[in-house]
Amino acid sequence: MSGILFRGVGWIGFAGLLVLAGCGSTPMNRAPVEDRGVVVSPAPMVATPVRPPPGFENAGKPGYYTVKPGDTVIRIGLENGQSHKDISRWNALDNPNKIEVGQVLRVVPPVSAAGDAVAVTKPVSTGTVTTTPIATAPMPAKAASAAASASSAPAKVASVPAVAATPAGGDEELGWIWPGKGTVIAEFDEVKNKGLDLSGNAGDAVLAAADGKVVYAGAGLRGYGNLIILKHNNTYLTAYAHNQSLLVKEDQSVKKGQKIAEMGNSDADRVKLHFEVRRQGKPVDPLKYLPAK
């Protein structure tokens, strides 16, 4: 009886050892554990709306300009034949030094803007008097015949001097002159040199090539040094660069031949005058406008 009990206890102890061994070892294939906790999804990505540049709705329209890298209002004015102040005013720019790439600017005067000059052609009075026929009594036959003969003869009209129409923005009335006395040391090239370079000495007079108004005087345009830009009419601008000193101010009217600056070498490798003629903002060869030397 004691042997049987011993054997029974032995089997129980052995079974317990197996159970303990199972608890102390790591099973090779554990059943997947399902996580029933709350799953937090990542916050959805919200795209930040891109602000279009000012005036984008006018891109590509006539009379508008899209700002490119490196542009300034001064350069845009030169390239479009306008005053930088006018461009700032037409576009309500609080700070003309802060424009952005892609911004679209008006570069022609608004039709309804107050103060913009509108060319109006006035009829020329010739002094001719318009007569109103007055009813009279019937004329005798001989008088009627004489009147008929007189009316058939060519009428003598007083000679009236013809008034030539002034071409809008034409250069004929400007009477261009050379802006300096030096010789040409670099001719016009549409890509490399957008004007003429004239030789000279520091302090030599720089003259206005035609009557006009100063639309820029300063050193804010890279590559030009101390620069003066004159607007002559709705078509033509002239530029005078690399000056030593400027003798006129913006908005000042100047006469042809007036000394507006002194020659120098600002932003240049030598003393010279760089002179440009711009037709509606596009550089053209000054030699086609200046008189032969």
Going by C-alpha positions, the residue among 247, 164, 177 that lies closest to residue 210 is 177
The reply to whether 88 falls in a domain is yes
DSSP letters, 27-68, are -SSPPPPP--S---PPPPP-PPPPPPPTTGGGTTSTTEEE--
The CA distance from 264 to 277, in Å, is: 20
- Looking at per-residue pLDDT, the higher value among 16 and 160 belongs to 16
Of 70, 90, 106, which residue constitutes the final position of a domain? 106
The reply to whether 222 falls in a domain is yes
Helix, strand, coil in percent for the chain, rounding step 5: 20, 20, 60
Instruction: Indicate if 101 and 188 belong to the same structural domain.
Output: no
pLDDT band at 36 (very low <50, low <70, confident <90, very high): low
pLDDT tens digits, residue range 202-261? 999 999 999 999 999 999 999 999 999 999 999 999 999 999 999 999 999 999 999 999
At 73, which CATH number?
A: 3.10.350.10
Whether the predicted pLDDT of 121 surpasses 50? no
pLDDT tens digits, residue range 146-164? 444 444 444 443 333 333 3
The reply to whether 78 falls in a domain is yes
Whether the predicted pLDDT of 25 surpasses 70? no
Count structural domains, the chain. Answer: 2
Of 71, 106, 141, which residue constitutes the final position of a domain? 106
Tokens of 250: 């913006």
The CA distance from 201 to 264, in Å, is: 7
What's the confidence (pLDDT) of residue 293? 83
- Looking at per-residue pLDDT, the higher value among 284 and 31 belongs to 284
| CA angle in degrees (0–180, nearest 5) for 64-69-73 | 50
- Looking at per-residue pLDDT, the higher value among 96 and 168 belongs to 96
What's the confidence (pLDDT) of residue 57? 94
pLDDT band at 48 (very low <50, low <70, confident <90, very high): confident
Reduced to 3 states (helix: H, G, I; strand: E, B; else coil), residue 273 is strand
What's the confidence (pLDDT) of residue 34? 55
The reply to whether 160 falls in a domain is no
Which parts of the chain are beta strand (E)?
64-66, 104-106, 184-186, 196-198, 205-207, 212-218, 226-231, 236-246, 253-254, 259-263, 273-279, 282-284
The reply to whether 243 falls in a domain is yes
What's the confidence (pLDDT) of residue 182? 95
The reply to whether 259 falls in a domain is yes
> Does residue 281 contact residue 188 with C-beta atoms inside 8 Å?
no
pLDDT band at 142 (very low <50, low <70, confident <90, very high): very low
What's the confidence (pLDDT) of residue 167? 37
What single-letter DSSP state applies at residue 272? Answer: B
What's the confidence (pLDDT) of residue 111? 82
The reply to whether 151 falls in a domain is no
- Looking at per-residue pLDDT, the higher value among 108 and 1 belongs to 108
- Looking at per-residue pLDDT, the higher value among 235 and 26 belongs to 235
Which residues neighbour 150 within 8 Å (Cβ) at sequence distance 6 or greater? none
What's the confidence (pLDDT) of residue 4? 44
pLDDT tens digits, residue range 54-103? 999 999 999 999 999 999 999 999 999 999 999 999 999 989 889 999 99
Virtual CA dihedral for 55, 56, 61, 64, nearest 10 degrees? 40
Arithmetic mean of pLDDT over the chain: 77
At 213, which CATH number?
A: 2.70.70.10
Of 106, 138, 173, which residue constitutes the final position of a domain? 106
The reply to whether 218 falls in a domain is yes
Which domain, by its residues, includes 80?
A: 56-106
